């Protein structure tokens, strides 16, 4: 370990600019001559479009242009993942127009765009557009959308069904249930969430008439993916004429992975209008147009033998896709969900069916955890329920079913092979650091204050860094899932690292610099990390699914290997030694067994000023690029323990103690890792207690602002206790697993298990998310109520 | 259009604004001070907090014309040259920021808090932050940073 290398809690390089107001987020950018776009959105959940009259808007002050779907005849927004139904038929994949074509399918569906000299003028003019809507019946739940006779959203999706998919061995599961000593059943609603990064989405399109080149500045987690999707599928622009820049991005949590209509609109319109065009979402637009997350309804059954060993798991899920297929939507309730249903346990047989449907709601796609929190919630609610029903201690029941420490690689019955892990140790760490043994005393203390205290445990596993590309392709991914890195060594030995990963809060500029510092022995002040610009970086798949370090970091290591290998050749020449005898350590190339050495900076200089250089055998320069395609997913795992106190009179739930023990493999920067866990926990606790995207039956989003959608605030949350255990990933060069999503995966189940535990004495056995004061108060009231006479 | 004259980060500023222009729009779009951010449209996220005459204010809740004659300080005016303000330094030291978007508002809000509370408790910090949303940090490290920054400010003052 060097002073700034792997394992050091190095303070972040990027903080200086963020703390002084010098960050550059998309809306901070102003291009010369820039004008503004306002998107007019459907106020109806489902309607056919009649006449659209834009004449008055076009004549309004400051207006340069108004475009509707009739003007913007371009390709639809593509879906990047295809899923096949049980019978082998491809999923229904109806068109997703950029601007509505003949119909609107959710509140917020873009209908027209006004381009004007100011934001205010564009918005004012949008109110002058006259649209004849013929309102149609709406369906907001999967159950309603799949009912016979439900109003059809798309011609190409009969019965509103997107796909009816399954995984696992149904016969084996049925046989296991037939001989089970006990069967536990639960019904689960995994509530719909809105990612709500504090930076709203924004986009600036610019067309250079001189070069014919388009530039899109956008709030994206993966600019190369946006360039590919928008260039190849929507606007038919070749990549060499399209630059996509994702500058500083103010949080993503999945919602900024996807290609959105507004990106295509400002890019396309910038050429029509001949000026750079900026669009920035108002928060209300974010609620009505950023992809939402979760929204599952699930029936699940667990078969156990008389000793509590899990025999089989059967799961049936209805997944809401929203009105259109967002970029990676089909993967979330299938390959990122059902393949995780083994969790940390040895359940030998698993069968899951997932029906996905179109509804008149905002499209649903990956949100922090994406499928894995949903799987964890199913499993861990089942385990706690089974423990109560069978009168087995919930900790003991988990231990009895954990995958053994020596069982890796472990093949689950739902496709995945876990490479490493140790669930016993993270459980013990969480029990110890959360003072599990002292819970009874704390419960009694709470009772003295007339509070109901409960403790809930959840263990989780996640699969990160979807891989390898060939396997992902076989499962329906329509993209590679590798990552790139370019290490450009400058003549005097400083370094620019270009990565295809993207930081929108994760601290890549620090962590990735630490990887370089560790390997080359140079201080991080000499290393800059560049990301987020398709004109600078060779290619990139971006940041999502906790993949940056496991995939992007591995690409960095691979590129560094190439730099060192070339450096050895140069050093061998300078030191007049055989290449095989050159060692690289502590920033110096040394002839083994001697003190003859050259420092790294001198090698860099020789590479660019090759006066004394093996020029016949070796090209000058020291600039290496690597593409890394992972061999498998990585499998972070851990245990979360929540303790809650419930006010009997108001139903208010307070998380009074929260302990996480996680295994993320090798940790590069422990400070950043802890920060990632904290943020994930806040979002998971938010799902469990506060957040809910609620539609009324007409498809109006009732929780469509920060006044109605309860974002977790500082006084909703406790300080967290976070610990880590390390089992190394066996198949990537750093041994890293990823830490970005874990906090949001285990915590919802831990909190709800704690709430149910607190109310168990009253006879409460279940609680939906979010466990709002109203829901909890009603549960208390119902169970306290004397039974009415029959 | 109306003329508004005010002091921003110690320097005089004059601008022509539509009467409906918000202070945050004046700061960002006309004065180029893009460190102050906009994260919502209901005055709840707190990304736009600045100081108006020394007091923290959400700059989306004030019309630019209401700031006539006022002294406004934004995040750009907080540090002393290259030396971070003790609250900024505490945020860096305690990893109180991730994506950085809510950070300017958090820091400006925290500085006002520290002036009012010399020896605060964690619960006081958490209660004060009800007007500032952060989606990245879970507030854990922000709370630590504000406690440390408050202490550092008290030390600097004494």
Determine whether the interchain pair B95/A706 forms a contact, defined as Cβ–Cβ distance below 8 Å.
no
- For A169-178, give one letter per residue: b (16+ CB within 10 A) or e: beebbeebbe
Neighbours of A508 (CB within 10 A): 29
User: What's the CA gap between A39 and A265, in Å, rounded?
Assistant: 9
Mean pLDDT of chain B: 97
Put simply, whether A27 touches B (Cβ < 8 Å) is yes
pLDDT digits (tens, 9 = 90+) for A634-663: 999 999 999 999 999 999 999 999 999 999
- Of B44, B98, B132, which has the smallest distance from its Cβ to A707's Cβ? B44
Does residue A20 belong to the interface with chain B, where contact is any CB pair within 8 Å? yes
More confident residue, A617 or A785: A617
pLDDT tier at A480 (50, 70, 90 boundaries)?
confident
What would the mean pLDDT of A330-345 be, rounded to a whole number? 97
Contact A717, B139 (CB under 8 A): yes
Interface check for B84 against chain A (CB to CB < 8 A): the answer is yes
The mean pLDDT of A6-27, rounded to a whole number, is: 98
**What percent of chain A is predicted at pLDDT more than 90?**
96
- CA dist A171 and A649 (Å) reads 49
At residue A407, φ and ψ (nearest 5 deg) are: -95, 5
How do residues A92-138 score in pLDDT, each as one tens digit? 999 999 999 999 999 999 999 999 999 999 999 999 999 999 999 99
Cβ contact A198–B99 (<8 Å): yes
- Taking the Cβ of residue A715 and every Cβ of chain B, the question of whether any pair is shorter than 8 Å is answered with yes
Mean pLDDT of chain A: 97
A787 has pLDDT over 70: no
A515-570 pLDDT, tens digit each: 999 999 999 999 999 999 999 999 999 999 889 999 999 999 999 999 999 999 99
**Chain A residue with minimal CA distance to B27?**
A28
- For helices A600-608 and A554-575, give the axis angle rounded to 10 degrees: 80
Burial (CB count <10 Å: 0-12, 13-18, 19+), residue A730: middle
The predicted structure's pLDDT at residue B16 = 97
Crossing angle of helices A670-689 and A742-759, in 10° steps, is 40
**DSSP code per residue over B53-118:** TTEEEETTSSBGGGGTT-EEE-GGGTSBTTBPPHHHHHHHHTT--SS-SSHHHHHHHHHHHHHH-S
- Least CB-CB distance to B97: which of A15, A249, A674? A15
Q: Are A615 and A717 in contact (CB under 8 A)?
A: no
The residue-averaged pLDDT of A587-601 equals: 96
Q: How far is A39 from chain B (nearest CA, A)?
A: 16
- Kind of pairing, strands A213-218 and A242-245? parallel
B102 interaction partners in chain A (CB closer than 8 Å): 198, 250
The partner residue sitting opposite A23, judged by closest CB among B39, B100, B129, is B100
Amino acid A114: pLDDT: 98
Length of chain B as a residue count:
158
Chain A partners of B60 at a C-beta cutoff of 8 Å?
none
Measured in Å, how far apart are chain A's first and last C-alpha atoms?
A: 73
DSSP state of B26: I
Q: Is residue A677 classed exposed, middle or buried when 0-12, 13-18 and 19+ CB atoms within 10 A define those classes?
A: buried
Q: Is the pLDDT of residue A691 over 60?
A: yes
A 558-617 residues with CB below 8 A of B?
Answer: none
pLDDT band, very low/low/confident/very high, at B157 (cuts 50, 70, 90): confident
Residue B157's H or E segment, with its range, is helix B140-157
Model confidence at A789, pLDDT cuts 50, 70, 90, reads very low
- Phi, psi of A579, deg, nearest 5: -55, -35
Give per-residue pLDDT as tens, A214-263. Answer: 999 999 999 999 999 999 999 999 999 999 999 999 999 999 999 999 99
CB proximity A774 to B under 8 Å: no
B27 with B8: CB under 8 angstroms?
A: yes
CA distance A378 to A313: 10
On the CB side of A141, how many CA atoms lie within 13 Å of its CA?
13
The whole-number average pLDDT for the span A739-757 is: 97
| Angle, alpha carbons A149-A150-A151 (nearest 5°) | 115
Listed in sequence order, the residues at least 6 apart from A50 whose beta carbon sits closer than 8 Å to its beta carbon are A131, A132, A133, A134
pLDDT value of residue A546: 87
Q: Which residue in A319, A471, A221, A376 sits closest to A747, CA to CA? A: A376
Q: Chain B: nearest CA to A490, how far in angstroms?
A: 27
User: Residue A666: pLDDT above 70?
Assistant: yes
Which pLDDT score, from 0 to 100, does residue A465 have?
85
Q: Determine contact, residues A224/A540, Cβ cutoff 8 Å.
A: yes
Judge whether residue A53 has pLDDT over 50: yes
Could you tell me if B45 lies within 8 Å of chain A, comparing CB atoms? Answer: yes
The answer to whether residues A643 and A451 touch, using CB atoms and an 8 Å cutoff, is no
Alpha carbon separation from B121 to A786, B124, B127 (Å, rounded): 43, 5, 10
Closest CB to A198 among B92, B102, B129:
B102
The answer to whether A15 contacts chain B (CB < 8 Å) is yes
- Residue A337's pLDDT is what? 97
pLDDT at A1 over 70: no
CA A463/CA A419 separation, integer angstroms: 11
Residue A786 has pLDDT above 80, yes or no: no
pTM of the complete model: 0.97
Residue pairs spanning A and B at CB distance below 8 A: 180
Given a cut of 50, whether residue A790 has pLDDT beyond it is no
Please choose, from the candidates A350, A296, A263, the residue with its C-alpha nearest in 3D space to the C-alpha of residue A39: A263
Give residue A479's pLDDT.
85
ipTM of the complex: 0.98
pLDDT at A61: 98
Give the pLDDT mean for A74-84: 97
* Residue B55: burial class (beta carbons within 10 Å; 0-12, 13-18, 19+): exposed
Is the distance from CB of A529 to CB of A499 less than 8 angstroms?
A: yes
**Across residues A602-622, what is the average pLDDT?**
97
Report which DSSP code applies to A589.
Answer: E
What pLDDT, on a 0 to 100 scale, did the predictor assign at position A385? 98
CA pair distance A346, A227, nearest whole angstrom? 43
pLDDT digits (tens, 9 = 90+) for A168-191: 999 999 999 999 999 999 999 999
* Cα separation, A127 vs A112, whole angstroms: 11
Rg of the Cα atoms in chain B:
15
CA neighbor of B31 nearest in space, from B67, B57, B85: B67
């Amino acid at each position: 370990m060097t002073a700034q290398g792997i394992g050091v809690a190095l303070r972040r390089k990027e903080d200086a600019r963020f703390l002084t107001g010098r960050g550059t987020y998309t809306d901070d950018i102003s291009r010369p001559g820039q004008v503004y776009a306002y998107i007019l959105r459907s106020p109806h959940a489902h309607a056919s479009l009649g006449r659209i009259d834009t004449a008055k808007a076009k004549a309004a002050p400051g207006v340069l242009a108004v475009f509707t779907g009739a003007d913007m005849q371009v390709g639809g927004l593509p879906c990047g993942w295809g899923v096949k139904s049980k019978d082998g038929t491809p999923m229904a994949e109806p068109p997703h127009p950029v601007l509505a074509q003949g119909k609107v399918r959710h509140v917020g569906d873009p209908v027209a765009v006004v381009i004007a000299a100011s934001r205010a003028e564009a918005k004012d003019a949008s109110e002058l557009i006259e649209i004849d809507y013929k309102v149609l019946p709406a369906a907001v739940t999967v159950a309603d959308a799949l009912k016979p006779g439900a109003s059809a959203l798309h011609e190409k999706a009969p019965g509103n069904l997107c796909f009816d998919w399954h995984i696992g061995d149904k016969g084996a599961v049925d046989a296991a249930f037939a001989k089970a000593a006990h069967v536990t059943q639960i019904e689960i609603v995994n509530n719909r969430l809105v990612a709500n990064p504090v930076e709203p989405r924004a986009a600036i399109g610019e067309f250079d008439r001189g070069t014919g080149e388009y530039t899109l500045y956008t709030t994206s987690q993966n600019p190369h993916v946006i360039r590919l999707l928008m260039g190849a599928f929507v606007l038919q622009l070749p990549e060499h004429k399209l630059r996509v820049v994702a500058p500083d991005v103010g949080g993503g949590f999945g919602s900024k992975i996807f290609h959105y209509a507004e990106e295509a609109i400002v890019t396309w319109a910038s050429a029509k209008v001949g000026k750079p065009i900026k669009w920035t979402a108002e928060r209300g637009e974010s609620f009505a147009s950023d992809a939402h997350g979760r929204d599952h309804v699930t029936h699940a059954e667990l078969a156990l033998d008389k000793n509590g060993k899990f025999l089989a798991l059967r799961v049936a899920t209805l997944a809401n896709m929203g009105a259109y297929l967002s970029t990676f939507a089909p993967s979330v309730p299938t390959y990122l969900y059902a393949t995780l249903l083994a969790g940390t346990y040895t359940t030998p047989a698993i069968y899951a069916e997932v029906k996905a449907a179109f509804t008149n709601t905002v499209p649903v796609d990956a949100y922090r955890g994406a499928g894995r929190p949903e799987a964890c919630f199913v499993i861990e609610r089942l385990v706690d329920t089974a423990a109560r029903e069978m009168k087995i201690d919930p900790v003991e029941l988990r231990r009895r079913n954990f995958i053994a420490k020596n069982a890796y690689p472990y093949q689950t019955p739902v496709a995945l092979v876990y490479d490493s892990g140790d669930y016993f140790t993270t459980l013990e760490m969480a029990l110890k650091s959360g003072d599990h043994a002292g819970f009874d005393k704390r419960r009694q203390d709470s009772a003295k204050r007339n509070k109901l205290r409960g403790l809930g445990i959840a263990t989780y596993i996640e699969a990160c860094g979807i891989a390898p590309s060939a396997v992902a392709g076989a499962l329906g991914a329509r993209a590679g899932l590798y990552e790139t890195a370019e290490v450009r060594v400058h003549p005097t030995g400083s370094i620019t690292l270009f990565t295809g990963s993207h930081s929108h809060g994760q601290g890549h500029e620090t962590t990735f610099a630490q990887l370089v510092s560790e390997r080359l022995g140079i201080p991080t002040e000499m290393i800059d990390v560049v990301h987020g610009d398709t004109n600078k970086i060779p290619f990139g798949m971006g940041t999502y699914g906790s993949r940056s370090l496991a995939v992007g970091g591995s690409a960095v290591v691979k590129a560094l290997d190439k730099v060192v290998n070339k450096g050895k050749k140069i050093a061998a020449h300078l030191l007049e030694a055989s290449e095989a005898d050159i060692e690289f350590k502590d920033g110096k190339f040394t002839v083994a067994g001697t003190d003859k050495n050259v420092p790294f900076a001198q090698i860099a200089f020789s590479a660019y000023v090759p006066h004394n250089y093996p020029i016949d055998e070796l090209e000058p320069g020291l600039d290496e690029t690597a593409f890394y395609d992972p061999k498998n997913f990585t499998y972070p795992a851990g245990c979360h323990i929540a303790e809650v106190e419930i006010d009997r009179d108001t139903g208010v739930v307070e998380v009074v103690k929260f302990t996480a023990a996680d295994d993320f493999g090798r940790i590069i920067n422990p400070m950043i890792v802890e920060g990632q866990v904290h943020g994930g926990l806040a979002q998971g606790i938010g799902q469990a207690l506060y957040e809910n995207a609620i539609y009324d039956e007409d498809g109006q989003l009732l929780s469509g602002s920060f006044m109605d959608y309860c974002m977790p605030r500082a006084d909703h949350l406790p300080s967290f206790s976070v610990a880590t255990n390390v089992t190394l990933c066996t198949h990537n060069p750093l041994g890293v697993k990823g830490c970005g999503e874990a906090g949001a995966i285990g915590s919802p189940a831990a909190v709800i298990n704690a709430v149910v535990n607190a109310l168990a004495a009253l006879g409460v056995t279940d609680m939906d998310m979010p466990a709002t004061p109203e829901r909890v108060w009603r549960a208390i009231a119902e169970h306290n109520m004397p039974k009415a006479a029959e | 259009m109306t003329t508004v004259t005010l002091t921003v980060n110690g320097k005089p500023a004059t601008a022509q604004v539509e009467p409906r222009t918000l202070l945050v729009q004046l700061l960002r779009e006309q004065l180029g001070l893009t460190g102050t951010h906009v994260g919502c449209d209901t005055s709840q996220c707190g990304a736009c907090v600045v100081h108006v005459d020394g007091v923290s204010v959400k700059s989306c809740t004030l019309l630019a014309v209401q700031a006539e004659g006022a002294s406004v300080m934004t995040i750009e005016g907080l540090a002393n040259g290259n030396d971070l303000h003790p609250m900024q330094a505490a945020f860096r030291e305690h990893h109180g920021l991730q994506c950085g978007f809510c950070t300017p508002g958090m820091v400006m809000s925290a500085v006002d808090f520290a002036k009012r509370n010399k020896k605060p408790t964690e619960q006081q910090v958490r209660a004060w932050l009800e007007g500032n949303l952060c989606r990245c940090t879970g507030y854990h490290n922000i709370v630590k940073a504000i406690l440390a920054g408050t202490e550092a400010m008290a030390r600097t003052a004494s």
